[in-house]
Amino acid sequence: MATPAEPGRPTSTSGPDRVRPSAPPVTATTACNTAPARTAMPQPASLPPLSQPSKALPPEEAEAQGKADKIKLALEKLKEAKVKKLVIKVLMNDGSSKTLMVDETQTVRDVLDNLFEKTHCDCGVDWTLFETNPELQIERGFEDHEFLVDILSAWTRDSENKILFLERRDKYAVFKNPQFYYLWKKQKSVLEDMKEQDKGLLITENFCKGSIIVPDLEGPLYLKEDGKKSWKRRYFLLRASGIYYVPKGKTKTSSDLACFVQFDNVNVYYGMEFKNKYKAPTEHCFILKHPQIQKESQYIRYLCCDDKRILDLWVTSIRIAKYGETLYENYKTAVRKASGTSGWTSRIASNASAASPVPKAKAANGHAPQASLQPKATPTTAISEAKDLGDDQPNLSYPPPPPATESCPPPHLPNPALPPPPPPSLTPRTVPPKASTLHSPLPATCPPSSTSGPRGLTTSST
């Protein structure tokens, strides 16, 4: 009978019974220094996460958890169903229209991007959605950050308002030529010659230093009296909070200024044909009103300017004072999206121009080019041509013409566009004429150039 080994004394391994009970048996897997042995050692530490799914919840808790998940899913669907949606009709500048569905989460910028995809226009920064109100004879361009459904919800059911999709150069004119708005007191010739570097400095000083600087605008305007068709000339000043005027007999000091309107709850609109409707001194008018007002009201403020330049100056400056940095962010987003599509548009133009035969190369060497043997192309726009060509279209270029000398050898292959040569038995071999005396017949229809088609829109009405 074997006796247990004493603690601290080594045991013999000569017999099968001389094995320590606390030591595991040595196998080929544990003796070898292999990867499976190292990965198998920490396995007990990773067992608890694997055993968690095996713990089933009590029936009461499982039923409560299932009900909570169903309620959460139902609330999400209910929230999605409560999103207000509208079907709108947008008029194009070519007379056609597009029907879109928009919801309350979409901004004007989102709708513009959708229209760019549908109309395949140039995606420039000047494209805008424009609102017209025939009842009040006013119009304005929507700002890119505005939510379109919120704007349209203010329209009445019997409203004849329309939404137009068109280009307006005055949308972001302040960022292209800021000198006309911040240095408007200087001579026009000096402002037109301003360098691009100086324009950038103006934008940096007024928009990129933490606070927006409103143009220091002031001057005389015509004010329409309430309920009358008479206009009085007053001196107005623009401030960041609103428009102020100088009362009769007062000075332009801050203490004497009277508040005319504040920008918190009003929008600025262009007036249309106010000279005929309200007997305005000129046709260059604008109004300030709450967006909920859709008909004649005493809360509408009417102003008239001497010329169009003063009108654009006031309307743009009011937009700067009202929207501030948001207006500049809208412009940067529009530029970024336009530059993202410019590379695609340039590839379209290059591929379309490369695929079109060049008339000068046609008669340079006295032979008709190989491209004239291809089927006739139907007239189309540069964008539709690019869809067929693709970005991997090879560049169709012609080799340089040979020198026009008397020793120029004839071509090896006959040209089907030229008449066949006479039989050699009737006519002795002679030197071919100069390249300038050979003329290839022109094709019946010239292929379209890369600039064909109407500018901007290429869609039909929906």
Residue 390 resides in a domain: no
Q: Residue 423: what pLDDT? A: 53
pLDDT > 90: what percent of the chain? 46
Give the pLDDT confidence score for residue 63 in this predicted structure. Answer: 84
pLDDT band at 334 (very low <50, low <70, confident <90, very high): very high
Q: Evaluate if residue 461 carries a pLDDT over 70.
A: no
Tell whether the model's pLDDT for residue 125 goes beyond 90.
yes
Residue 219, sorted as left (phi over 0), alpha (psi -120 to 50) or beta, turns out to be: left
Confidence of residue 84 (pLDDT cuts 50, 70, 90): confident
On whether residue 66 sits in a domain, the answer given is: no
pLDDT for 4 beyond 50: no
Answer positive or negative: Cα dihedral of 27, 30, 31, 33. positive
- Confidence check: pLDDT of 231 > 60: yes
Specify whether 311 is located in the same domain as 245. yes
Q: What pLDDT band is residue 408 in, cutting at 50, 70 and 90?
A: very low
pLDDT of residue 361: 42
Instruction: With a cut of 90, say whether residue 276 has pLDDT above it.
Output: yes
**What confidence score (pLDDT) does residue 421 get?**
54
**What whole-number distance in Å separates Cα of residue 267 and Cα of residue 282?**
21
Domain count, the chain: 2
Tokens of 144: 């890119």
Structure tokens at 100: 């879109």
Q: At residue 339, does pLDDT exceed 70?
A: yes
Q: Give the range among 130-139, 288-297, 383-392 with minimum mean pLDDT.
A: 383-392
Q: pLDDT band at residue 341, thresholds of 50, 70 and 90?
A: low
pLDDT at 369: 44
Q: Is the pLDDT of residue 122 over 50?
A: yes
For residue 253, the domain's CATH number is 2.30.29.30
DSSP code at position 4: P
- Reported as a pLDDT band with limits 50, 70 and 90, residue 422 is low
Structure tokens at 323: 């929207």
User: 71 in a domain, yes or no?
Assistant: no
Q: Which residue has the higher pLDDT, 342 or 229?
A: 229
Average pLDDT over residues 407-427: 48
Average pLDDT over the chain reads 74
pLDDT given for residue 62 in this prediction: 85
User: pLDDT grade, residue 337 (50/70/90)?
Assistant: very high
* pLDDT tier at 229, thresholds 50, 70, 90: confident
Q: Which of 323, 353, 379 is the last residue of a domain?
A: 323
- Domain end marker among 134, 168, 202: 168
**243: domain range?**
213-323
- Whether 243 and 316 map to the same domain: the answer is yes
Instruction: Quote the pLDDT of residue 407.
Output: 42
Tally of residues, the chain? 462
Tokens for 349, please give them. 């133009």
Residue 201 pLDDT: 94
**pLDDT at residue 36, rounded to an integer:** 43
Q: Which residue has the tokens 């056609």?
A: 96
Confirm whether 307 is domain-assigned: yes
In CATH, what number is assigned to the domain containing residue 157? 3.10.20.90
Structural contact between residues 335 and 125, judged by C-beta atoms closer than 8 angstroms: yes
Determine the average pLDDT of the residues in 432-453: 41
Band the pLDDT of 268: cuts 50, 70, 90: very high
Higher-confidence residue of 127 and 398: namely 127
pLDDT at 406 over 70: no
Question: Is the confidence at residue 412, as pLDDT, over 90?
Answer: no
Query: pLDDT tens-digit profile of 347-367?
Result: 544 554 444 444 444 343 344
- Which range among 2-6, 324-328, 456-460 shows the weakest confidence by mean pLDDT? 456-460
157 shares its domain with 219: no
Q: 302 falls in which pLDDT band (50, 70, 90)?
A: very high
Q: What are the Cα distances from residue 137, in Å, to 7, 19, 148, 269, 295? A: 107, 105, 21, 10, 10
End-to-end CA distance of the chain: 103
Least confidently predicted of 124-128, 270-274, 405-409, 422-426:
405-409
CA dihedral 230, 235, 238, 243 (to 10 degrees): -40
Q: Which of 136, 168, 200 is the last residue of a domain?
A: 168
Q: Which residue has the higher pLDDT, 255 or 397?
A: 255
In a domain, 263, yes or no: yes
